[in-house]
Amino acid sequence: MIVDDDPLARYALRSLVEAVDGVDVVTEAAGSHDALQQAEDSRPELALVDVQMGDADGLQLTRALVERHPALKVLVVSVLPEDPYALEALRSGAWGYLRKEHVARHIQEAVMALSQGLTYLAPSVAPGLLRRLLWASDARPSPTLTPREREVLALLSQGLSNKEIASRLHSTVRTVKAHISHILQKLNVQDRTQAALLAVRLGMSQEGAAGRPD
């Protein structure tokens, strides 16, 4: 479901979303009341919600949607600066946050991440948001990671993709994926965002990468 009060924006978002394999737009809405009704009638699995509409607050709508439909995954999209809306979006129950200027580049990976039950933050959003999430985090003991895993985690927490991490470490994408899998298991977290949050929490996000081959 696409929720935006601008019909041109809805058209653009629909075109981008429907280009993702296996994803269909089942309904659209121009405001909160319409969105709540369409969610009830169409039962979408994922909703793209504009954070600020003329007659509606996208974050309030997100809270209402998630309360009524707990299985619905909301991706908040916005033309506004990341802070503080990304953090507020997650607190409202959204599974992801993406600025509209980045939608064309990141919409496929965002939709696929949410469809797999993962949180999604665009690389430009993640670093600042993670630091703010620290303030509400409980202290946890430092995990036991290998030196290479600490390097991978530090780069991951800076918003780098697997390909970028592999290039930085003179490694392969396959090896980086293996390291990340081990990191998630050791940290007992479900996805990259949670791992990155913990890395910042433990002061591991700025550790230098030696760049030696695996």
pTM summary value? 0.61
Examine the pLDDT at 47 and tell me if it is beyond 70.
Answer: yes
Query: Per-residue confidence at 72, pLDDT binned at 50, 70, 90?
Result: very high
Query: Per-residue confidence at 125, pLDDT binned at 50, 70, 90?
Result: confident
Averaged pLDDT, 85-111: 86
d(CA 193, CA 123): 10
**What CATH class does 123-214 carry?**
mainly alpha
> What phi-psi label fits residue 27: left (phi over 0), alpha (psi between -120 and 50 degrees) or beta?
beta
Domain boundaries, the chain: 2-121, 123-214
Mean pLDDT of the chain: 83
Query: Per-residue confidence at 84, pLDDT binned at 50, 70, 90?
Result: low
Residues 163-178 as b or e (16 or more Cβ within 10 Å = b): ebbbebbebeeebbee
Query: Per-residue confidence at 53, pLDDT binned at 50, 70, 90?
Result: confident
Averaged pLDDT, 174-199: 86
Peptide bond into 81 cis (omega under 30): no
Averaged pLDDT, 131-158: 71
Q: Which CATH architecture has domain 2-121?
A: 3-Layer(aba) Sandwich (3.40)
What pLDDT score does 141 carry? 47
Examine the pLDDT at 144 and tell me if it is beyond 80.
Answer: no
